Structure 1
Amino acid sequence: MSGSLLGGIAVGSSVVAATSTSRFLVDAKATSRTKAEAAGLDVVHDLREIDLLVVNGAEADVRSLNTTYAPDTTYSLNRPLSDQTPIAASATDEPGYEYQWDKQAQNIPAAHEITRGDETRVAVIDTGVAAGHPDLEHAVNEDLSRNFTDDGYGAGGPFGGYHGTHVAGIIAADDQNEGGVVGTAPATEVVDCRVFSPESLASFADILAAIVYSVRIDVDVANMSLGAYPVSRKAQGQLYGKMLNRTTTYANSNGTLLVAAAGNDSTDLQHDGRICTDFDGDGTEECAPAVSLPNEAANVVSVSATGPIGYQWGDEGLEEGFYSPAFYTNYGTNAIDVAAPGGNADLDAIDTGVPWYLDLVYNTIAMPEYADDGTYEGATYGYDWIAGTSMACPQVVGAAALVKSQNPDFNANQVRQTLKNTAETVEEYDKTYYGSGFLNPAAAVEQ
C-alpha cells in the first residue's frame, strides 16, 4: 500500500513551464476568426463568448492581426513529495468508508438524508475520468465528455493519468453499489473535460476552452484541481489574467460555479512574492508582482487543504485533527474562500513502516496502460490514498452540487454564499488558512 501526494499543475522552482512557439491566445475583440484564417492561421478554439481565439501558426501571421496576443503555455503536474505508484446503499455501507476520514469529518451520511446531488451536473477539468471505473460508471456522461488536447485519445478515460479519476470519485463515487467508496454527491452527473495529455501537460488555452464548454452544456459546478504559481502580472501574464477573468466572469454570470485548488506551495497568497526577469528583452532584469491562477481569478472559489496526523495509526489517537491545515497548502486572508479535507502527512513517518498514508484522501484511481508505440491498452481500476489541494477542491464541488440539488433556482453566487455562510469557524489555527471556515455540506443543505 503506497500513498502519493499529488497537486494540480503549478509553476515553481522545480517545475518549468513550456512556452509554445506556434500556438497563441488572440484577443478577438479587435479581430475575427475569418481574419485569422485569412492570415493563414489554424483556429483551434473559437471562444467567441469571451472574445478569444486560440490559433496555431507563425507568430508573424499572428502579429499581422494587429491585436493583443500571447503564446500559449503548458505546465506539468507538481508533486509536493516524490511520486509513488498507487495501488490499484448508505455511505457507511461502502467497505472503504472506514478509511474516508474526509467524508466522516463532513458528516456526508447526514447530508445524503436530504439530497445526494440529484439533477445536477459537474465538470472535471483534469487528466481524464475513467468512465468504466465500478464506482463511477453510474455517473460519467461520456456523450458530453470532451478531450481538449490534440493527443487523439478521446475522453471518458484516464488518458492523462489517475488524478482526474481520484478527483471525480471524491465528488461522485457510488454510495449504493456496496463496494468501494462514497462520493459527496453520488447522484450528480460528471462530465470529463480532459486538458492533460499522457505526458502530464496542460495548456492554459485548453483550460479556458474547457470552462467555456462547461457553460455551453449547462454545468452547475466545474472542478479545477490545477493551478499555476507564480505567474507574473506583467508581460504575457497580463493577457492571461485578462482572458482568465473574462472567462470566469462569463461562467459565473451564466450559472456555472468555478472551484479551484489553492495550490501546494506552502505560500501566503495574500502577500504574493515577486518574479524577477527580463520581461521586455532589453537586457535589464525587472521585478513584478506574482499571482496564482486560476484560484485568484475573479468569481472563483479558492480552496485550501486540511487533514489529520495519526488517523488509525497514531499511538494515542490524532496528533492533529481533521481541521488542521495541511503542511503543503497555500493560504492567505483574502486568497482562500473555504478550507476542505485534502489530506496531510507526517513527513518524519514516511519509510518507517507505519501506515502514514491513512492521513491522505482515499478514493478511486485508474492507472492507464500504453503500448510502446503509444497505443492505449486500457486501465487498471482501484483505490488509493492521495493528498493535495487537488483533493480538497472536489470536496467543495460535491458540496456545491448538493446545495444546487436542494435549491435548483440558485445561481452561482447563491451556491457559493451558502457554502461560505455555513462553513465552520476553526479557532485552533490561524484564520488565514480557512477563508470563511471549514466546509460543512450537511449544514449547507439544511440551510
Structure 2
Amino acid sequence: MPGNRRSRRMKNGRRRRISLTATEKRVLTLLLLLLLSLPALPLALTSINPVLTTDTGELIIGFTGDATTADQDAFAATYGYTILDRNDALNCILVRPDSAVQKRVLTRGAREEIVRYLEPNKPVRALYTPNDLYFPDQWALPSIKVDQAWDYERGNKTVTIAIIDSGIDYTHEDLSANYLPGGYDWVNHDPDPRDDFGHGTQCAGIAAAVIDNGKGIAGIAQVNLMAEKVLDHTGRGTEWDVALAIVHAVGHGATIISLSLGGDENAQVEEDACRYAWDNGCLLVAAAGNQMVEGVLYPAAYESVIAVGSIDQTDQRRGTWGPELELVAPGVSILSTSLYGGYASVAGTSMATPHVAGVAALLWSQYPSLTNQQVRTILTQTADDLGAPGFDMYFGYGKVNALNALLLNLNFDTMRPEVPYPSISGIHTGTITPFYDLDVSKLSTYPCPGTGGRTINARIWNDSLNVTAAWTGYPGDWQTIPFDQVFLLEAGKTYNYTIETASYPQIHHTASLTTPVGTITCTAFTDHNGWVHHDRIPAIRLLH
C-alpha cells in the first residue's frame, strides 16, 4: 500500500474548509505515520548498483611527521592490510583492507598516535555542464541538485514519463527526440495527442527536454515522453478522460505518470485508475494546487499519488498545503518549452510536478530494479527538510533533491509520534536495523511543542562500530548533536543504541517501530524518576 493519507471531508465528498486548533494541526501533520506500516525494503546501496558507491574499497592513511616507513609497515601489519602505494612527500600510504578490517580501522585505527588522518580513497569524476542555450536561466535545476546529479545519471530510454495534460507539441526542437508515439487524444478521440493549449508542452520540457543540443533548455531526465491529451484548447477536461488516459498510459509502457491538473472533489473512477496504475508498478505525481489555502486537490490527494507543492527561489511555499502533501519543488519563474517551438517562463504547482517526475526518472534510470514504493521512499527520505523538522503539512517531507536520491543519502527518521505524551526525560536503550546503507553524522531529537527537548548524549555500537555524540551547549539548534565521526550503518545489520534525553523530548509509546528505511526497538527506558519502561522509543532522526 502507498502512504495512507487522510483529510477532512463532508459526506458528499467535498472537502470542508475549516480552521484547526494547534493540537489538530500537529495531529494532521503526522497522518503520514501510517506509511510506517509499509513492508520492509531491505535494499542496500551496494546491492542496487555498486557503481554509485563513494568508496573504492581503498584507504588513504596519513601519518605524523616523525613516523618512519618502518612505522607505516608495522601499522599496516597490525591492522592486516596490504600497502598498495606510498607517498613519501606527504607521508601517507594507500592500502586495501578486507571489509571487516576496514570497518575496524575506521573506528579504531584512526585513533593511533602516529595516524594524522584516515579516509576512504573516493572516486572523482568529470563535472558535467550542458550546452543548452538557456540552461544558465534555469534556477530550479541547481536548487534541487539536478546539475550535480547529472554527473552520475542523465536518464535512460527504458523509462517513460506519461504527461497527462493538454498534449505535447512533439514537433518542438527540444522535445521531438525524446517523444515516444503511443499516447492518445481523449478530447478529440484520435491517436494524435498534439498540444493546442501549451500547458502539457511546458510540463514535458521541464521533465525531459533534450539536453546538450545547443538549443533551448535542459530537461531533467533523458527519458521517453508520452502524451495523453485530456485537456482541450482552453485547459479543461473531465475525470472520465483522466481515468481513461491513466489506464491507457499503463498499457503502453509508462513508468511515471505526471498529472499537472486537478479538481476540488474526489472521483471514484479517477481514484481507481490511480490505484490501477500504482498496482501495476507506476509512480504517479500530481499538482497539489495553486491556492494559498489548505486542501490538496485531486488526484494529488489520493494515497497512491505523490502530491507536489510549489516553492520559490528562497524556498518559500507558493501554493496549497495539507496532510497529503508529500514533496515540494520549484514552481516560480520556470523556463520551459512552449507552443510553436518557443520558450516561456511559467509558474505553479503544475510546473513543480514535472520536476519531481524528472528526478524520479533519473532515479529509476540508475536503479531499474527499484519498485515504485522504493522510488517513492527514496524521494521522500532524501528530500531537503523545509519548515518544521521532519514531515509537515506545508512542505511535506521537503524539497526533492536529485543528488541525494541518486546517492541514496537517506535519513533514518522515526517522525513525530501521533501522541507523544506522557513525555519524560531519561535513558533509552534499544536497537536500530536499517534497510539501506546509511551514512550518519548527526542525531536530532523531536521536542514536545513549547519545550527544549534534546539529547544529552548518544552512543551507537555493535561488534565493528562504536560512536558517540554529546550535547555541548546552545549553538542555535538545541535538538541536533554531532557524532565524533561520520559513520556507516550497514543495511541489514543490527546496532545497539543508548540515548539520554532531557527537557521533554517526544516519545513513541511502543516497543518496536518500523520506518521507511529501518526498524528501531526499545530494550528499556529508565525515566528520570527511576521507573523502567519497555515501550518507549525516542523520536529521533539520524542525519547524513
> TM-score if structure 1 supplies the norm length?
0.60
The within-5 A match list for 1:140-289 is: 140-142=179-181, 144-150=182-188, 154-159=191-196, 161-185=197-221, 187-229=222-264, 231=265, 240=267, 242-269=268-295
Write out the 4+ residue segments of structure 1 that deviate beyond 6 Å after TM superposition: none
**Which amino acid in structure 1 is aligned with residue 316 of structure 2?**
S
Contact residue 244 and residue 297 of structure 1 kept, 8 A: no
Rounded to whole Å, the distance in 1 between the matches of 2:278 and 2:388 is 33
**Which amino acid in structure 2 is aligned with residue 205 of structure 1?**
W
Percent identity between the two aligned chains: 29
The within-5 A match list for 1:93-104 is: 93-104=131-142
Q: Does structure 1 residue 444 correspond to structure 2 residue 405? A: yes
- Cα distance per residue 1:264-297 (max 9 Å; x no partner): 121112xxxxxxxxxxxxxxxxxxxxx7311111
Match of 1:335 in 2: 324
The within-5 A match list for 1:104-119 is: 104-118=142-156, 119=158
Match of 1:384 in 2: 344
**Which amino acid in structure 2 is aligned with residue 300 of structure 1?**
V
Rounded to whole Å, the distance in 2 between the matches of 1:155 and 1:392 is 26
Contact residue 131 and residue 213 of structure 2 kept, 8 A: no
Shift of 1:300: 0.4
Match of 2:75 in 1: none
Rounded to whole Å, the distance in 2 between the matches of 1:122 and 1:138 is 14
Match of 1:62 in 2: none
Rounded to whole Å, the distance in 2 between the matches of 1:130 and 1:102 is 23
SS of the residue 1:268 aligns to: coil
Rounded to whole Å, the distance in 2 between the matches of 1:363 and 1:302 is 21
- Cα distance per residue 1:340-368 (max 9 Å; x no partner): 0011xxxxxxxxxxxxxxxx1011101xx
Q: Which has the higher contact order (CA 8 A, sep 6+)?
A: 1
Match of 1:282 in 2: none
SS of the residue 2:210 aligns to: coil
Rounded to whole Å, the distance in 1 between the matches of 2:234 and 2:288 is 23
- Cα distance per residue 1:300-326 (max 9 Å; x no partner): 000000012xxxxxxxxxxxx1x1112
Deviates more, 1:201-210 or 1:244-253: 244-253
Match of 1:325 in 2: 317
Shift of 1:428: 7.8
**Which amino acid in structure 2 is aligned with residue 181 of structure 1?**
I
Shift of 1:222: 0.5
Q: 2:159 aligns with which of 105, 113, 120?
A: 120
The within-5 A match list for 1:407-422 is: 407-422=367-382
Q: 2:334 aligns with which of 337, 341, 361?
A: 361
Match of 1:65 in 2: none
**Which amino acid in structure 2 is aligned with residue 342 of structure 1?**
G
Shift of 1:115: 1.2
- Cα distance per residue 1:154-201 (max 9 Å; x no partner): 534222x1111110000001112011110110x200001111122332
Contact residue 382 and residue 404 of structure 2 kept, 8 A: yes
SS of the residue 1:390 aligns to: helix
SS of the residue 2:178 aligns to: coil
Q: CA RMSD in A?
A: 2.1
Shift of 1:151: 6.0
| Change in CA separation of 1:149 and 1:91 when aligned onto 2, cut-off 3 Å | farther
- Cα distance per residue 1:233-257 (max 9 Å; x no partner): xxxx5xx2x3222222211111111
SS of the residue 1:214 aligns to: helix
Contact residue 339 and residue 433 of structure 1 kept, 8 A: no
Contact residue 308 and residue 329 of structure 2 kept, 8 A: yes
Rounded to whole Å, the distance in 2 between the matches of 1:307 and 1:112 is 22
Contact residue 90 and residue 176 of structure 1 kept, 8 A: no
Rounded to whole Å, the distance in 2 between the matches of 1:179 and 1:97 is 9
Task: Please list every run of 5 or more consecutive structure 2 residues that lacks an aligned counterpart in the other structure.
Answer: 1-13, 16-126, 409-544
| Change in CA separation of 1:265 and 1:427 when aligned onto 2, cut-off 3 Å | closer
| Change in CA separation of 1:174 and 1:90 when aligned onto 2, cut-off 3 Å | farther
SS of the residue 1:400 aligns to: helix
SS of the residue 1:432 aligns to: coil
Rounded to whole Å, the distance in 1 between the matches of 2:152 and 2:174 is 21
Rounded to whole Å, the distance in 2 between the matches of 1:180 and 1:445 is 26
Contact residue 97 and residue 182 of structure 1 kept, 8 A: yes
Rounded to whole Å, the distance in 2 between the matches of 1:205 and 1:432 is 29
**Which amino acid in structure 2 is aligned with residue 405 of structure 1?**
S
Rounded to whole Å, the distance in 2 between the matches of 1:220 and 1:201 is 25
Contact residue 253 and residue 412 of structure 1 kept, 8 A: no
Contact residue 125 and residue 194 of structure 1 kept, 8 A: yes
Contact residue 312 and residue 330 of structure 2 kept, 8 A: yes
Match of 2:299 in 1: 294
SS of the residue 2:237 aligns to: strand
Rounded to whole Å, the distance in 2 between the matches of 1:260 and 1:394 is 9
SS of the residue 1:383 aligns to: strand
Q: 1:402 aligns with which of 358, 362, 368?
A: 362
Q: 2:312 aligns with which of 300, 307, 315?
A: 307
Contact residue 256 and residue 412 of structure 1 kept, 8 A: yes
Contact residue 174 and residue 337 of structure 2 kept, 8 A: yes
Q: Does structure 1 residue 139 correspond to structure 2 residue 178? A: yes
